[in-house]
């Protein structure tokens, strides 16, 4: 999905040394300039293609590990050691860069057309902040992006896929609503015993999920606890996911968030991962499914996805094939 901010790295992982990673099908190098601002550029050196993430930052510029060419944050080559400092540098010797911003303890990359006025970081008021009271974990999954988002919108898998952690949880999802408001999918459902009666307003497990299309998920548990899951494609087959819990409990909030993240990442998510990784086809269209009433949120997501892909196809030249995954 173009024209979207995607998180690509936790802020705290970006220090003095350049970091190499693959996101959105590109091999990237991330580093910080002299002011500490994050920079994201293509990792292949424009000279002869060495991996710039093996280089170092010198005087606020990125130095290639191979022949020492240096690149400024805006991409221009500022030094060619073998030519000496007196010789002019050819103007086409530039590294391609991406617009990045920092917020909520994450480095976000603008994936789309570079414009004067970019939209602000998405949902920066809604998503739980990093820091005291919060805990964050990141996962790399061998699951395509759309499948990850499908899993994030699924409520009725819980009593089956996670039955070990929810013994006796009801399997009827009722009431259940899914609606679209702008780019936000709102779903709310109650998992309860199928007692043949309308819901009494008390029984069962109430869950509320909001998704800011395409990749931001917000969950509420009671008054105090919020969780987010954000997905960024690594390439066509792999996805990077950030989980964060924040608890408003006085003093113990951080501990609660830590416990919830550990439970999620160690116990719950591996069960989802195994199912999503092996689901076929890996790149489904809506017609490949036989969706039921409880999948209404997923149906909305795929409808938006297909509509946007179609709109992008009409306006964009064909994208180059994504590179293979690593890290
Ligand atoms: S490949 Fe980077 S300086 Fe030669
Ligand atoms: Fe799950």
Name the residue at shortest CA distance from atom 3 of ligand 1: 67
Q: What distance, in Å, lies between the first and last C-alpha atoms of the chain?
A: 21
- State how far the Cα of 53 lies from the Cα of 230, in Å rounded to an integer: 25
Q: Which CATH superfamily is domain 134-312 in?
A: Naphthalene 1,2-dioxygenase Alpha Subunit; Chain A, domain 1 (3.90.380.10)
Query: How high is the pLDDT of residue 223?
Result: 78
**Phi, psi (deg, nearest 5) at residue 126:** -85, -40
- Per-residue pLDDT tens for 166-210? 888 999 999 999 999 999 999 999 999 999 999 999 999 999 999
Is 30 a pocket residue for ligand 1 (Cβ < 6 Å)? Answer: no
Interval 65-94 mean pLDDT: 97
Structure tokens at 276: 């999503």
- Does the CB atom of residue 66 touch ligand 1 within 6 A? yes
Residue 326: per-residue pLDDT: 45
Structure confidence by residue, pLDDT tens digits, 101-156: 999 999 999 999 988 899 999 999 999 999 999 999 999 999 999 999 999 999 99
d(C-alpha 7, C-alpha 44), whole Å: 21
Q: Give the pLDDT score at 222.
A: 74
Q: Give the position, in ligand 1's atom list, of the atom nearest the Cα of 50.
A: 1
pLDDT tens across 37-54, in order? Answer: 999 999 999 999 999 999
Q: Which residue carries 């802020």 as its tokens?
A: 11
> Counting atoms of ligand 1 from 1, which one is nearest the CA of 45?
2
Instruction: Locate CATH 2.102.10.10 in the chain.
Output: 4-111
Token duo for residue 100: 């990045």
The CB-based long-range contact list for 219-227 (8 Å cut-off, 24+ gap) reads 223/248, 224/248, 224/249, 224/253, 225/256, 225/257, 225/260, 226/128, 227/128, 227/260, 227/264
The fold of the 4-111 domain, in CATH, is Rieske Iron-sulfur Protein (2.102.10)
The predicted structure's pLDDT at residue 323:
56
Residue among 51, 52, 53, 66 whose CB has most ligand 1 atoms within 8 A, to mutate: 66
With cut-offs at 50, 70 and 90, classify the pLDDT of residue 327. very low
Q: pLDDT of 211-265, one tens digit each?
A: 999 999 999 877 789 999 999 999 999 999 999 999 999 989 999 999 999 999 9
The CA 85 to ligand 1 mean position distance, Å, reads: 16
Task: Please tell me the number of the ligand nearest to residue 150's CA.
Answer: 2
Cα–Cα distance for residue pair 244/253, rounded to 1 Å: 13
Q: Is 179 in the pocket of ligand 1 (CB under 6 A)?
A: no
Rg (CA), the chain: 22
User: What is residue 320's predicted lDDT score, i.e. its pLDDT?
Assistant: 60
Mean pLDDT of the chain: 94
Beta strands in the chain (DSSP E): 4-10, 19-23, 26-32, 38-42, 56-58, 61-63, 70-71, 77-79, 97-98, 100-103, 106-111, 134-141, 172-181, 184-192, 205-212, 216-221, 225-233, 239-247
21-30, 65-74, 250-259: the lowest-pLDDT one: 250-259
Atom of ligand 1 nearest to the CA of 64: 2
Whole-number pLDDT of residue 237: 98
């Amino acid at each position: 999905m173009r024209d979207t901010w995607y998180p690509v790295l936790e802020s705290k992982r970006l220090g003095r040394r350049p970091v190499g990673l693959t996101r959105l099908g590109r091999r990237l190098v991330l580093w910080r300039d002299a002011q500490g601002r994050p920079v994201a550029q293509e990792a292949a050196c424009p000279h002869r293609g060495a991996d710039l993430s093996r280089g170092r930052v010198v005087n606020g510029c990125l130095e290639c590990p191979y022949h020492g060419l240096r690149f400024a944050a805006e991409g221009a080559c500022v030094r060619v050691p073998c030519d000496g400092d007196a010789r002019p540098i050819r103007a086409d010797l530039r590294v391609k860069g991406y617009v990045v911003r920092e917020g909520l303890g994450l480095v976000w990359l603008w994936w789309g057309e570079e414009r004067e006025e970019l939209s602000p970081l998405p949902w920066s008021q809604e998503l739980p902040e990093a820091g005291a009271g919060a805990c964050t974990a990141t996962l790399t999954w061998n699951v395509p992006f759309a499948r990850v988002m499908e899993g994030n919108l699924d409520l009725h898998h819980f009593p089956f896929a996670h039955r070990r952690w929810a013994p006796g949880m009801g399997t009827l999802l009722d009431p259940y609503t899914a609606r679209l408001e702008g780019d936000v999918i709102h779903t709310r459902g109650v998992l309860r015993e199928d007692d043949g009666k309308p819901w009494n307003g008390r029984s069962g497990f109430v869950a509320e999920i909001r998704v800011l299309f395409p990749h931001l998920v917000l969950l509420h548990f009671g008054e105090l606890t919020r969780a987010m899951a954000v997905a960024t494609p690594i390439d066509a087959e792999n996805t990077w996911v950030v989980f964060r819990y924040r608890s408003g409990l006085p003093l113990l909030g951080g501990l609660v968030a830590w416990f919830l993240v550990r439970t999620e990442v160690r116990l719950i998510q591996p069960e989802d991962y195994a199912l999503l990784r092996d689901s076929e086809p890996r790149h489904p269209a809506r017609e490949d499914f036989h969706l039921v009433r409880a999948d209404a949120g997923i149906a909305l997501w795929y409808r938006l996805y297909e509509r946007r892909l179609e709109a992008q196809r009409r306006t964009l030249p064909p994208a180059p094939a994504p590179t293979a995954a690593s890290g």
